[in-house]
């Protein structure tokens, strides 16, 4: 049984213009030989330049979303193929900001995952419950339902990861307790093994939501946590490196 290689990915969201490439360089220069795989997912306008700037470094570049079709009349959208062509190696799919703001359903996310695989991109599929759902005692049901609905069978044998991001922890400074994180991660692992067999024990399950240098050590060493998806704290090299070094 292969233990997952941890992945620490920065999600820059709609932040960063040309000047931010220097921050990405500083991250790549400071990473050293940490045991994790490291990625930065900048806005699509920076994908190509960041891929060039970080070429030969340990840091991979990823997208934040991709369309489920490979090309066509979808004004404003970007395909997985285009991201790959611009140098991306992975792509975040089904982030809660897209599920909530663009009404992305599990089915849409699953189709995006298929498109990512066609383009040779590694999907990082996000799941997570709202505060209302947690308070109603439905966190595990919601999250495992999202895992079942968002992961197509095409993922069998492919490299991918899951990011558990409780919606109420994103950008709020609040995080679940470590036992709560472990409970959800164990439930995700059990669902993955049901869906994909024992090989799914090698799939990293990242935690995301207000990860920062001060809480990273505890979170990253919790049971079944295979890395982190980091928003705000990935924008500054010092903070992101502090998280990476916590592993």
Rule CB under 6 A: which residues touch ligand PGA? 11, 165, 170-171, 208-211, 229-233
As measured in angstroms, the least distance from the Cβ of 233 to ligand PGA is 6
As measured in angstroms, the least distance from the Cβ of 153 to ligand PGA is 26
As measured in angstroms, the least distance from the Cβ of 100 to ligand PGA is 11
Whether 165 is catalytic: yes
Q: Of 23, 97, 104, 165, which residue is the catalytic one?
A: 165
Whether 218 is catalytic: no
CB-nearer residue toward ligand PGA: 160 or 196: 160
CB-nearer residue toward ligand PGA: 80 or 219: 219
Residue bearing tokens 């290689």: 5
Q: Of 67, 95, 97, 224, which residue is the catalytic one?
A: 95
Give the residue nearest to ligand PGA (CB): 231
Residue 27: which of 247, 246, 244 has the closest Cα? 244
The radius of gyration of the chain's CA atoms, rounded to the nearest angstrom, is: 17
CB-nearer residue toward ligand PGA: 94 or 232: 232
As measured in angstroms, the least distance from the Cβ of 156 to ligand PGA is 26
Residue 166: which of 218, 247, 231, 245 has the closest Cα? 231
CB-nearer residue toward ligand PGA: 89 or 118: 89
Residue 84: which of 119, 112, 110 has the closest Cα? 119
Residue 77: which of 65, 88, 89, 87 has the closest Cα? 65
**In sequence order, which ranges of the chain are alpha helices (DSSP H)?**
21-30, 47-53, 80-85, 96-101, 106-118, 131-135, 139-150, 178-196, 213-220, 237-244
* Residues annotated catalytic, as ranges: 95, 165
């Amino acid at each position: 049984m292969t233990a997952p290689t941890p992945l620490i990915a920065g999600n820059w969201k709609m932040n960063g213009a040309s000047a931010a490439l220097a921050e990405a360089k500083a991250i790549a220069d400071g990473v050293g030989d940490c045991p994790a795989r490291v990625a930065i997912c900048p806005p699509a306008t920076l994908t190509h330049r960041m891929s060039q700037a970080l070429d030969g470094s340990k840091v991979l570049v990823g997208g934040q979303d991709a369309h489920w079709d490979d090309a066509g009349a979808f004004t404003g959208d970007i395909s997985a193929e285009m991201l790959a062509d611009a140098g991306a190696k992975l792509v975040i799919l089904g982030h809660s900001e897209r599920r909530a703001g663009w009404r992305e359903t599990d089915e849409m996310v699953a189709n995006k995952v298929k498109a990512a695989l066609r383009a040779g991109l590694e999907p990082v599929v996000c799941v997570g419950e709202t505060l209302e759902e947690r308070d109603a005692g439905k966190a595990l049901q919601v999250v495992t339902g999202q895992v079942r609905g968002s992961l197509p069978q095409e993922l069998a044998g492919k490299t991918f990861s899951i990011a558990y991001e409780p919606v109420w922890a994103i950008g709020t400074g609040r995080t679940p307790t470590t036992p709560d994180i472990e409970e959800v991660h164990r439930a995700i692992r059990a669902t993955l093994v049901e869906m994909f067999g024992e090989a799914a024990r090698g799939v990293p399950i990242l935690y995301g939501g207000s990860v920062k240098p001060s809480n990273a050590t505890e979170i990253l060493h919790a049971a079944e946590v295979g890395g982190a998806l980091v928003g705000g704290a990935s924008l500054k090299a010092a903070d992101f490196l502090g998280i990476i070094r916590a592993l």
